[in-house]
């Protein structure tokens, strides 16, 4: 089976790690797989190590430019016609636009789309009612062109059902949890991880791994740090990642004079290797699909808590989730955090690969 995975950005991020893991698993299962995407070097470099082809689409980007969108649709259509893919798996909203070009092919591939998060349609997203309505109409129209719609979170799937987003489309909707390769020897030990990050053994270290971007909501942790120190004296906040909110976070850190207590490490390749440096992993997101970094944390045996959004409680349990942006609830949970007893097999890479192969061959 010849499969094309398409994602908008090729830089490092959760959706890109998902695409990389899926491509590797499909290749190991004996399938012919190609990954296509827009700007960014992370995916091409990592795929090259695995001997998997990467196709650059020059007009695939996060843009509202209709001319650029039409160029991407044409780009994708011509490439699929030339290569004869049997399955085209779209993984981002901008990539989903390509469904219009592929649905009209005489010999059309099986079109699959993974909803990695509800984004603008999420109840927590700050967007106008008009924009939400436009996106809703867009998704409804696009979903009708697909053979299969995959959700990575049961809560997001249930919301899509209950809100009418999937009206008449229940038969083509599926739940497949994101999966990771679970290797106990992958993570650096606590001492080594802390040494490389410049942390002391007696520091209380909490933090997160992810892009410094609006959905991750890291300003909540920065704003809560002084209050958290009353519970955990000597606490240090470590945020591993890079992104557009860096300057905003740096200004907040400077305002509170916390330069020695809050560390923005920047982008680190294979950042999850450093998870055992944390005493506590925190994901304060405004919205989520199913966070790979949160799955990695429980796989590494690190205590983890998260905001009660998206699929977070499906990973760490409702008892380890706090109300979004509720500092009192967050601090109370810090006092009573419990090690997660989630069945890690649910988030195994092999299980995810099997699920997608069943969808592709349905």
**Which strands, in side-by-side order, build the sheet including 321-322?**
262-266, 235-240, 204-209, 280-283, 304-307, 321-322
Q: State the total domains in the chain.
A: 2
Tokens in use for 215?
């959905």
pLDDT band at 62 (very low <50, low <70, confident <90, very high): confident
204 strand-pairing partners: 235
Please measure the distance between the N-terminal and C-terminal CA atoms of the chain and give it in whole angstroms.
13
Based on the domain organization, do 126 and 50 belong to the same domain?
yes
pLDDT band at 120 (very low <50, low <70, confident <90, very high): low
- Here the CATH number for the domain that contains residue 99 is 3.40.50.2000
Based on the domain organization, do 244 and 96 belong to the same domain?
no
Based on the domain organization, do 23 and 171 belong to the same domain?
yes
Based on the domain organization, do 164 and 206 belong to the same domain?
no
Based on the domain organization, do 195 and 145 belong to the same domain?
no
pLDDT band at 338 (very low <50, low <70, confident <90, very high): confident
Based on the domain organization, do 288 and 355 belong to the same domain?
no
pLDDT at 121 over 80: no
Where b means 16+ CB within 10 Å and e means fewer, 304-324 reads bbbbebbbbbbbbbeebbbeb
Tokens in use for 321?
């989730």
Mean pLDDT of the region 100-113 = 92
Q: For the chain, how big is the Rg over CA atoms in Å?
A: 21
Based on the domain organization, do 337 and 352 belong to the same domain?
no
Based on the domain organization, do 215 and 144 belong to the same domain?
no
Mean pLDDT of the region 287-292 = 92
What CA–CA distance (Å, rounded) separates 94 from 106?
Answer: 23
Nearest by Cα to 290 from 347, 224, 345, 241:
347
Mean pLDDT of the region 169-184 = 90
Nearest by Cα to 54 from 98, 20, 26:
20
Based on the domain organization, do 128 and 210 belong to the same domain?
no
pLDDT band at 308 (very low <50, low <70, confident <90, very high): very high
Could you report the per-residue pLDDT of 213-264, keeping only the tens digit for each?
Answer: 999 999 999 999 999 999 999 999 999 999 999 999 999 999 999 999 999 9
pLDDT band at 295 (very low <50, low <70, confident <90, very high): very high
List strand residue ranges (DSSP E) for the chain, in order.
2-7, 32-37, 53-56, 87-90, 110-115, 148-151, 173-175, 204-209, 235-240, 262-266, 280-283, 304-307, 321-322
Based on the domain organization, do 35 and 170 belong to the same domain?
yes
Q: Quick check: 111 and 325 in contact, CB under 8 A?
A: no
Domain that holds residue 136: 2-181+348-360
Based on the domain organization, do 132 and 262 belong to the same domain?
no
pLDDT at 24 over 90: yes
Based on the domain organization, do 112 and 167 belong to the same domain?
yes
């Amino acid at each position: 089976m010849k499969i094309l995975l398409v994602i908008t950005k090729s830089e490092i991020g959760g959706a890109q790690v998902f695409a990389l893991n899926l491509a590797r698993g499909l290749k190991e299962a004996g399938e012919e797989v190609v990954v296509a995407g827009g700007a960014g070097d992370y995916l091409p470099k990592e795929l090259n190590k695995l001997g998997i082809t990467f196709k650059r689409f020059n007009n695939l980007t996060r843009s509202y430019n209709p001319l650029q969108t039409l160029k991407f649709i044409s780009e994708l259509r011509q490439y699929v016609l030339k290569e004869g893919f049997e399955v085209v798996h779209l993984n981002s909203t901008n990539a989903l636009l390509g469904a219009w070009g592929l649905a009209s092919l005489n010999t059309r591939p099986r079109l699959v789309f993974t909803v990695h998060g509800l984004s603008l349609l999420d109840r927590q997203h700050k967007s106008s009612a008009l924009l939400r309505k436009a996106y809703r109409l867009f998704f409804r129209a696009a979903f009708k062109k697909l053979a299969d719609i995959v959700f990575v979170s049961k809560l997001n799937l249930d919301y899509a059902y209950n809100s009418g987003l999937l009206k008449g489309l229940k038969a083509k909707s599926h739940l497949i949890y994101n999966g990771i390769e679970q290797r106990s020897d992958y993570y650096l030990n606590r001492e080594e991880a802390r040494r490389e990050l410049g942390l002391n053994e007696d520091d209380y270290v909490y933090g997160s791994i992810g892009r410094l971007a609006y959905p991750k909501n890291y300003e909540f942790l920065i704003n809560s740090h002084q209050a958290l120190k009353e519970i955990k004296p000597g606490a240090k906040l470590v945020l591993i990642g890079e992104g557009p909110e860096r300057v905003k976070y740096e200004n907040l850190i400077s305002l509170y004079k916390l330069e020695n207590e809050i560390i923005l490490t920047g982008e680190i390749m294979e950042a999850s290797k450093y998870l055992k440096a944390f005493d506590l992993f925190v994901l304060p997101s405004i919205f989520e699909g199913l966070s790979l970094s949160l799955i990695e944390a429980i796989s590494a045996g690190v205590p983890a808590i998260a905001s009660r959004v998206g699929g977070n409680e499906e990973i760490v349990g409702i008892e380890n989730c706090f109300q979004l942006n509720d500092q009192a609830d967050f601090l109370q949970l810090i006092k009573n955090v419990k090690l997660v007893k989630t069945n890690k097999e649910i988030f195994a890479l092999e299980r995810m690969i099997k699920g997608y192969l069943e969808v592709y061959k349905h």
